[in-house]
Chains A and B, each alone.
Chain A
Amino acid sequence: MAEPQAFTIEQFYKNISQKKLMGGKCRKCGKIHLPPRPLCDKCLSTEFEWVELPQKGKLLTYTIIHVAPTQFQSMAPYAVGIIQLENGVKIPGMIRDVPLDKIKVGMRLKMEFEEPQHTQQWPQWPRYHFKPF
């Protein structure tokens, strides 16, 4: 039998590498955590189950980054925003495949998984972004 999966950020990204967006649902109070946590901040329970989260949502707010950190400099200017998924859970991410001047608060977006990059450095988390549909 497979080891039970820990409700951790590391496991969240392992799921992303399988192209799955998964949250941790508290078995006691029902709160869905993204990222998953080992201790429910609402009711202090440690009992969770994995739930698959909707990959579609709407844009709550955004910015266009012009001055970027070193590793993102080649992409600048680029858009990032906070997306509210269809079940109400919020997640930040880059917004791509749309002209920057066409981005609007309230627009519908869906998640796209990116191929994992294999480097020696920590962390080896795969990335995702959002695009219109």
Chain B
Amino acid sequence: MKGKPLASIVSAGLSKFGKLEGLYAREIFAQAAKEAYERCPKLDPKKDIKALFIGHMGESYEHQGHTGATAADWAGLLHIPATRTEAACSSSGAALRAAIFAVASGLCDVVMAGGVEKMTHRSTPEVTEFLAMASDFPFEQWHGITFPGLFALMATAHMHKYGTTEGQLAHVAVKNHYNGSLNPKAHMQKEITLEQALTSRVIAWPLKLYDCSLITDGASCLILTRPEIAKRYTDTPVHIIGSGQASDTIGIYERDDFTSLKAAKIAAKQAYEMAGLTPEDIDVAEVHDCFTIAEIIAYEDLGFCKPGEGGKLAEKGETTLKGRIPVNTSGGLKAKGHPVGATGTAQAYEIYLQLTGQADKRQVADAEIGLTHNVGGSGATATVHIYRRG
């Protein structure tokens, strides 16, 4: 049945995002878990939570794999089954989907989905190398193409085909930094000007420093239940009513179109159909702005505007907090930060706050329907989820 809840979020937690010196990933995850427990006094975590699904991209950062069991332990949840999902920057989007399967199948009543990444203790060249592992090695990385370089290839193609401008990209950065300035957990809580964005140093032309998301430490988590029992735990659940996930070629060069992410379009179509909704129904969205061009492409792939009109949507301010469809109210990956494994469920955390009226200075008035769009690597994975206020 269309629009039927698949699972319900009864609580959510987010660590501070930023440079968390002296902390190990598992300790950051414990912060997120603690917040989720405190938000939901009717939940007995040790008794009620039956499984953990956690997104984590890289062992390289801390020389540590096997994140499932480690995170379960530090969240005080031993000896529940705990599984790590890896889908590059969409790792916790995939964890959320696995968690939905667990409750929608009826196998579990209550589960935790989350994600974590600790990145800032490594040098920028090291992080650049680790992140590039999400792209094709033998034909892209081997020939000097960096991760920002892949999105720069998409930006050049978008500019060539549609006339999108560097100024329009900068509008995305300015908007997300403004939103981040209102989010006490964001990595960068300061506004920037168009001039600053446009004159920042070039990383991979046409992308400049302020077109790129941040290297950030952080963790996020959600507590999900079967929809039928959500009210046992809270009076204000958020129902997940649509879920989509799709894959695409690891090398972007093999794709027919460099101005759109096919996996995201497919995942969005699945989620909209499941929810019985259209893009016009979305009140607030968190999209994967790993680079400003990615947010513009997301507007188009999600149907917020026609293909080629994403730049204009940003320029006209239609995605600002007071616009027609506010996007990345949290500050997005651009200003809130992008601890890659944590991003998918961190997006869901923001939507949870918005739909329960807890988003404070960045609250979208009367938000009822939300959407998250989480992209892995250069688009070889995408997950899209749609949420409704309970």
Judge whether A66 and B204 touch: CB under 8 Å. yes
Q: Which residues of chain B in 93-150 are interfacial with respect to chain A, using CB atoms and an 8 Å cutoff?
A: 125, 128-129, 132, 138-146, 148-149
Q: How far is the CA of A81 from the CA of B156 in the complex (A)?
A: 10
CB proximity of B302 to chain A, nearest CB, Å: 23
Q: Which residues of A contact B305 (CB under 8 A)?
A: none
**Shortest Cβ gap from B123 to chain A (Å):** 10
Q: Which of A1-59 contact B (CB under 8 A)?
A: 9, 13, 35
Which of A61, A62, A69, A92 meets B251, CB within 8 Å? Answer: A92
Chain B's interface size range is 20 to 34
Interface of chain B residues 251 through 309 with chain A (CB within 8 A): 251-254, 258
For residues 41 through 100 of chain A, which have their beta carbon under 8 Å from a beta carbon of chain B?
Answer: 60-70, 72, 75, 77-78, 80-82, 90-94
Query: In the complex, are the beta carbons of B156 and A62 less than 8 A apart?
Result: yes
Cα A127 to Cα B149 in complex, Å, equals 18
Is B142 a contact of A125 with CB atoms below 8 Å?
yes
B132's partner among A69, A91, A127 (CB-CB below 8 A) is: A69
Q: Tell me how far the C-beta of A102 lies from the nearest C-beta in chain B, rounded to whole angstroms.
A: 14
In angstroms, Cα B121 to Cα A6, docked, is: 43
Q: Does B39 contact A (CB under 8 A)?
A: no
Residue of B nearest to A66 (CB): B202
Closest Cβ of chain B: how far from A68's Cβ, in Å?
7
Query: Interface size bucket, A side?
Result: 20 to 34
A123 to B143, CA, bound (A): 13
Which residues on the A side are within 8 Å of B207 (C-beta)?
63
> What residues of B have a CB within 8 angstroms of the CB of A60 in the complex?
157, 258
For residue B313, CB closer than 8 A to chain A, the reply is no
Beta-carbon nearest neighbor of A129 in chain B: B143
Contact A35–B138 (Cβ < 8 Å): yes
Q: Across the two chains, which residue of chain A brings its CB closest to B151?
A: A63
B203: A residues at CB distance < 8 A: 66-67
Question: How far does the alpha carbon of A61 sit from the alpha carbon of B204 in the complex, in Å?
Answer: 13
Q: Which B residue sits closest to A81, measured CB to CB?
A: B153
Residues in B with CB closer than 8 Å to A92 are 139-140, 143, 145, 251, 253
B342 contacts A by Cβ under 8 Å: no
Tell me whether B201 and A69 are in contact (CB under 8 A): no
Q: How far is the CB of A78 from chain B (nearest CB, A)?
A: 6
Residue B240, interface by CB 8 Å: no
**Cβ of B24 < 8 Å from any Cβ of A?**
no
Pull 18 A–B residue pairs with CB atoms less than 8 Å apart, ordered by A: A9-B138, A35-B138, A63-B152, A63-B206, A64-B205, A67-B148, A67-B203, A69-B125, A69-B128, A69-B129, A69-B132, A69-B144, A77-B205, A80-B145, A80-B153, A92-B145, A94-B144, A125-B138
Q: A9-B138, A61-B153, A68-B144 are in contact. List 14 more A-B contacts (CB 8 A).
A: A60-B258, A61-B160, A63-B152, A63-B205, A64-B205, A66-B203, A70-B125, A81-B153, A82-B252, A91-B139, A92-B253, A105-B157, A125-B138, A129-B143
Tell me the A residues contacting B by CB distance below 8 Å: 9, 13, 35, 60-70, 72, 75, 77-78, 80-82, 90-94, 105, 123, 125, 127, 129
